Amino acid sequence: MKKVVLAFSGGLDTSVCIKLLEENYEMEVITACVDVGQPQEEIERPTAVAYKMGALKHYTIDAKEEFAEEFVFRAIKANAIYEGYPLSTALARPLIAMKIVELAKKEGADAIAHGCTGKGNDQFRFEAIIRAMSDVDVIAPIRDLNLTRSEEIDYAEDHGIPLPSDKQYSIDENLWGRSIEGDILEDPMTETPEEAFNWTRSTDDALDEAQILEIEFEKGIPVGLNNEKMEPLDLIGKCNQIAGLNGIGRIDIIEDRIIGLKSRENYEVPAAILLITAHKALEQLTLTRSELKFASYVTEVYSELIYDGLWHDPLREDLDALTDNMQKRVTGTVKVRLHKGNLRILGRKSPYSLYSEETVSFEDKGMDQREMTGMVKNYGIQAASYNKICKKD
């Protein structure tokens, strides 16, 4: 019998996929859950469900540190924000797919399967990586059988498939962010209920006293908080906690999916908002005007590559090389104030600062103002010529 490796989260879609692959495709199923920082119960539950449903084997693959260092930190350096929110789910998908491909090769599997629907983005993100890294078949039972969510639930009940009963919404979580969608949230006029959130407090319930935080960066990467060096996972976790308690990081957005559909999404990304905001403030101090202008374009292109599932595209590697070179000078400390959903930059310093307090001062005579006369006289000369020639009465 042929073998298939199923990317397995233990949710509705992937849970029914085990039986669907056995019954409809006549394959032995090996399941794998890739740990990119989801809650512990979401690591433990897939193991129990997989074996209960008759999986041949189940693997739990710890990829948290690799996700932080090779994906999250690259996203920070590029200020990866898509249509107004920091990417989290999309950022983790390439790594999950890579780990699944590695396992499929190890097991000699004939195919790789996933539980993505035909309406979402993840089908592109998974399959692009799988096909780039292997020649095995790709199976998507939910999409291939055109199943609705209610049909999946009925199938699960008929086959005794255990499903999480406490989740009203479709939630994806990793160490960099938490997405919330589905159910009543599909109506864009429905306010997201408070119980949908887990990482962040509302502005009403946020801490009453403002909190001051100093974030240290080295070459564009956050390395410490309040004069204490920290490991990547600890630092991201601490930033999520601090920013979340202060009501930072909730985003309610209508975004454009790859296939053209608009979808209503809620995100909790407290650490991402905090660290990217601080990172951009430090860039303003250390990069030139032309670098900053070009970096904003890089952010847009880089973010779209991630969102579209094209992490393996050579352009992403090219952009990494570019940002790595610029980030050599993005070293220093940023002081921020967090209070009731507001995040404000209080100060920034860097050994590579291009800011000169002496030169910019109105009291300085080191820069002779008279030398500007000729420059100002000819400034905008083409626009002046256009107005004189083309806008005559």
Sequence-ordered list of residues with C-beta below 8 angstroms from that of 247, at least 6 positions apart, any chain = 200, 201, 202, 203, 205, 206, 340, 341
Return the structure tokens found at 316: 């992403």
Q: Please state, in angstroms and as integers, the Cα–Cα distance from residue 263 to each residue in 170, 178, 193, 277, 347, following that order.
A: 13, 16, 18, 25, 37
* Distance of alpha carbon 221 from alpha carbon 295, whole angstroms: 16
Tell me the catalytic residues: 13, 93, 122, 170
The residue with tokens 């847009």 is: 300
Task: Determine the residue type at 87.
Answer: L
Tell me which DSSP letter residue 313 carries.
S
Distance of CA 84 to the CA centre of its chain: 12
Sign of the Cα pseudo-torsion (316, 317, 322, 328, in order): positive
| Widest CA span in the chain | 85
The Cβ of residue 213 has, within 10 Å, a number of other Cβ atoms equal to: 20
Tell me which DSSP letter residue 195 carries.
G
The residue with tokens 């690799």 is: 66
* Distance of alpha carbon 45 from alpha carbon 37, whole angstroms: 14
Q: What is the DSSP string of 131-191?
A: HHH--SEEE-HHHHTT--HHHHHHHHHHTT----SS-SSEEEEETTEEEEESGGGGSTTSP
